[in-house]
Amino acid sequence: MLTNCQINNLVLRSQVGSGAFGLVFHAIDIVSQQEYAIKAVLKTSPNDSNNSTNDEKKQIKKSTILQDKLYHYFKEHQNRIYLPSVDLESIKNLTEQQLYCIPHYKEINFHLKVHDHANIVTIHQILESQIATFIVMDYYPIDLFSSIVEHKHFSNDGLLVKKVFLQLCSALNYCHQQNIYHCDIKPENILLDRFDNIHLCDFGLATYSSYLAPNTCVGSSYYMAPERVFCNGNGNGNNNDNNGICNDQNVCSSFPTISGDIWSLGIILINLTCIRNPWLKAHQLEDNTYHHFAKDNTILQKILPISNEFFQLLSNILKINPFERLTINSLIQNVENLASFTVDGPLSSVPQLIPIYDNNNYYNINAVTQPNNNNSLSLNELINDYADDPNEENNRKWKHIQLIFRRYTISIRS
């Protein structure tokens, strides 16, 4: 409906997504021919921000309202509008009191504080109109959901699974270091570039709160931790009342927000390796599979083709008690060293990955392999070795190495 509408030098080509308060468009800069994603965010008042944005019907209604308003706004201006840009640093420095008055800027404020990480989508401009704020960002044509489900991109490649998952952990760890908790980690919010590097986006549900009250339902139900889905917080000793989480009233009054993000990472790791979700919702009374898992977590090995080693890791990630879950640093270390994801098939044997961090706290592009004799080869030496080898299989493997091992040092196990 808004195809070929123009904002400054940016022409909208198609709508590629929608959310609680926004619509996302694929756009082209007619001067540079650079592709961008533009998220149009409906302007909101403090009263609007207090309403739940996790209700699907409300989300659809708000996005429909925004689409209708934008249609008439562009039509009124002959499909071409010229908007002023807002200084990014000024948005980044907004106080909580200021953000309360302009709640639709809260998402942008969070995002700007972490977008310097290589695995988080970069914001380039903020454009302001009468009815919406436009966020101009990097454009990536595919998300992790499509890559997993539609293209089966990870089903045969354990190294690629490790690469994208550890990049996601790196991005999320960086957010946590800035006291920002994403709260909506799911494949649709993780984008992929042509080199299979991930880029985290959509900070619409993010928070500074290090602890959340029980039943703070933010995010997608597939990826929500049990304490966010259902826990009455009364600590009355009834496991069904508390979703099996805890029996201590004081402990149950609030839960660490970071643990909710860790739980989501565990579900995504299952997505990457098994191309499915273990349950629809982590709610003992509403989901039969999760009910059985809460009683006996070995159900995972019955419904998923996972190795014993991977099962042990998942058991430590998907602890029902959020205070007992792995830290993100422990999770990173465990995945780096994991030797297998599945019982058989291509993911049953996976090399070890050892990342190199640079000053910006993300995996850099340098890569070397460490053969079994512990003699290291540089990336250039590897290129020369494979280039000189007439063996077609080795040439194919090298092309694969170039694609997969970006941002990592690789250690191949014997």
Q: Which residues are CB-neighbours of 181 under 8 A, at least 6 positions away?
A: 175, 206, 207, 208, 209, 210, 257, 258, 260, 261
Is 184 one of the catalytic residues? yes
Q: Widest CA span of the chain, in angstroms?
A: 71
The Cα 106–Cα 49 span in angstroms is: 10
The Cα 135–Cα 133 span in angstroms is: 7
Beta partners for 59?
Answer: none
Paired sense of beta strands 190-192 and 198-200, if any? antiparallel
Question: Treating both helix axes as pointing N-terminal to C-terminal, what angle do 158-177 and 257-274 enclose, rounded to 10 degrees?
Answer: 170
Tell me if 387 sits within 8 A of 393, measured CB to CB.
no
Tell me which residue of 28, 16, 20 sits closest to 62, measured CA to CA. Answer: 20
Q: Where are the alpha helices (DSSP H) in 193-256?
A: 226-229
The Cα 411–Cα 320 span in angstroms is: 33
Tell me which residue of 136, 12, 9 sits closest to 73, measured CA to CA. Answer: 12
Tell me if 230 sits within 8 A of 320, measured CB to CB.
no
The Cα 86–Cα 123 span in angstroms is: 12
Which strands form 142-143's sheet, in the order they lie side by side? 142-143, 190-192, 198-200
3-state helix, strand, coil in the chain (%, to 5): 40, 15, 45
**295 marked among binding-site residues:** no
Tell me if 189 sits within 8 A of 140, measured CB to CB.
no
To which H or E segment does residue 106 belong? helix 106-112
> Which position among 138, 143, 157, 184 bears the catalytic label?
184
Tell me if 272 sits within 8 A of 148, measured CB to CB.
yes
Task: Report the binding-site residues for ATP.
Answer: 43
| Positions at the binding site | 43
**Catalytic positions, please?**
184
